[in-house]
Amino acid sequence: MAKFEELGIKGELLESLKKMKFEEATEIQEKVIPLILEKKSVIAKSRTGSGKTGAYLIPLINTAKKGKGTKTLILLPTRELAIQVHNVFTKIAASTRLEATLIYGGVSIGRQAEELSYEPEFIIGTPGRIKDMFERGHIKLSKIERIVLDEADQMLDMGFYDDVEYIVKETDDNRSMYLFSATMTDYVRDISSRFMKDAEVINSSEDRIPVDINHTYVVSERNRKLGFLIKYIEDQNPEKAVIFSNTKSGASFISQRLRENGYRSVQIHGDLTQKQRETSIRNFRRGERFLIATDVAARGMDIPSITHIINYDLPKEDKSYIHRVGRTARFGRSGNAMSIILPEEAFMLKRIRKTAGIEIYKLPMEGQASEQVEEKRDHGRDRFSGVPNRQGHGGKRRYSNRGDYGRKPPARRRRD
């Protein structure tokens, strides 16, 4: 891989990168940085953990000019990811006088308005609050010359399509756009075709699942899933694990049961306040062993030391499995991914094997259920978590979870 100085990065930034131990560019950085330095728009398909945040922040900071007003806007799907990108910006830009303001919902508008009045060079935030602040007159979108859409597939699928379209239309016609997405959904294709006519398209080989992951599974009846989880933890003794639930109620259930069994854990999902979610991530980074999470809440979470990914609930989409397990086996380390599947989910596991091109081995645990070939419907309980659904028995699920991956909201629903 190329060194950053070979890619045209200025000396003052190189010192910051060295302090962060960024000495060689990742594949996506090596491909994208020169294009952004040449002011070319980019559509990049790359998974979480490939180094894509640095791929756009490094060249954008490299070419930004102090005191020229807000020229760069970075849009992200969740508050947690916005905070994470802002933290990375602060480290990379430490040797410059460039400023970035963090804009997202759930916190004081007055304070954000005050920060925006100083016209920071960068704005990093979620589409809903960005649009709100524009309509209140606190952001001059017509002055924006560079827009980043990070985690674009998730952002648009979560219902931000209209907000993103509105924001982009209000920016400078000669803007450059940089779209980063793990998958190319219909929404992503539509946005890119409408606003990025001459974009360079980058497909990173880092999109593949890391090879140093041991993939395993057990087959369990709904009422025995917790027992298999505890047994797996006792046998494997994970150093640092993320346990995925498809629902917010399921995440709370798992966290409570783990604590009752003597395992300290933190959780992150949509029912928690922003402060609680930030505290959970901080405590997990600082040493907590278990983080119980839903897909949306954990999107973009970058913690290199994760040794195990446990799917208490098998994800509903093949590519979600890839996104989840890609959080382990980082930076040359090995990792483990274990899934607890219901008997009727065996066909889903077969599909994941084919899509991801991996082998998933059955663990030799006693008491497992028999695998079933065809899907079995059960309306009385949540199909994936084994806890009662919100209506108790039968009927359609509500969208009260507002974006948890297991209960996807209607398209174009606004979230911030």
- Written as one string, the DSSP assignment of 117-163 is TT--SEEEE-HHHHHHHHHTTS--GGG--EEEETTHHHHIIIIIHHH
Asked if pLDDT for residue 313 goes beyond 80, the answer is yes
Which of 150, 184, 207 lies at the terminal end of a domain, its last residue? 207
In Å, how far from its chain's centre is CA 36? Answer: 23
Contact 294, 248 (CB under 8 A): yes
Residue 217: per-residue pLDDT: 97
The model's confidence at residue 318, banded by pLDDT at 50, 70 and 90, is confident
Reduced to 3 states (helix: H, G, I; strand: E, B; else coil), residue 217 is strand
Residue 355 lies in a domain: yes
Give the structural domain span for 177.
4-207
Residue 129 lies in a domain: yes
Q: Do 198 and 106 lie in a common domain?
A: yes
Kindly report the backbone phi and psi dihedral angles of residue 88, in degrees, each rounded to the nearest multiple of 5, phi listed first.
-65, -40
Rounded Cα–Cα distance for residues 282 and 266 (Å): 10
Rounded Cα–Cα distance for residues 407 and 383 (Å): 11
Reduced to 3 states (helix: H, G, I; strand: E, B; else coil), residue 175 is coil
- CATH number of residue 333's parent domain: 3.40.50.300
Residue 299: per-residue pLDDT: 64
Rounded Cα–Cα distance for residues 9 and 250 (Å): 46
Residue 414 lies in a domain: no
Q: Do 58 and 44 lie in a common domain?
A: yes
Which of 185, 207, 229 lies at the terminal end of a domain, its last residue? 207
Query: In this predicted structure, which of 176-190, 224-238, 248-262, 385-399 has the lowest mean pLDDT?
Result: 385-399
Q: Do 13 and 142 lie in a common domain?
A: yes
Angle at which helices 79-92 and 11-19 pack, to 10 degrees? 120
- Average pLDDT estimate for 162-188: 92
Q: Please give the share of the chain, as a percent, with pLDDT higher than 70.
A: 85
Overall domain count for the chain: 2
Asked if pLDDT for residue 406 goes beyond 90, the answer is no
The model's confidence at residue 2, banded by pLDDT at 50, 70 and 90, is confident
DSSP string, 382-394: -TTT-SB-TTSSS
Q: In this structure, which amino acid lies at residue 202?
A: I
Mean pLDDT score of the chain: 85
Q: Which two tokens stand for residue 289?
A: 């062993």
Asked if pLDDT for residue 411 goes beyond 50, the answer is no
Q: Do 18 and 54 lie in a common domain?
A: yes
In tens, the pLDDT along 115-170 reads 999 999 999 999 999 999 999 999 999 999 999 999 998 898 788 999 999 999 99
Q: Please give the share of the chain, as a percent, with pLDDT higher than 90.
A: 60
* pTM, rounded to two decimals: 0.69
The model's confidence at residue 297, banded by pLDDT at 50, 70 and 90, is low
Q: Do 103 and 247 lie in a common domain?
A: no
- Average pLDDT estimate for 25-50: 90
Q: Do 145 and 88 lie in a common domain?
A: yes
Residue 404 lies in a domain: no
Residue 415 lies in a domain: no
Task: Count other Cβ atoms within 10 Å, centred on residue 380.
Answer: 11
Residue 408 lies in a domain: no
Asked if pLDDT for residue 183 goes beyond 90, the answer is no
Residue 55 lies in a domain: yes
In tens, the pLDDT along 326-381 reads 888 876 678 999 999 999 999 999 999 988 889 999 999 999 999 986 655 544 44
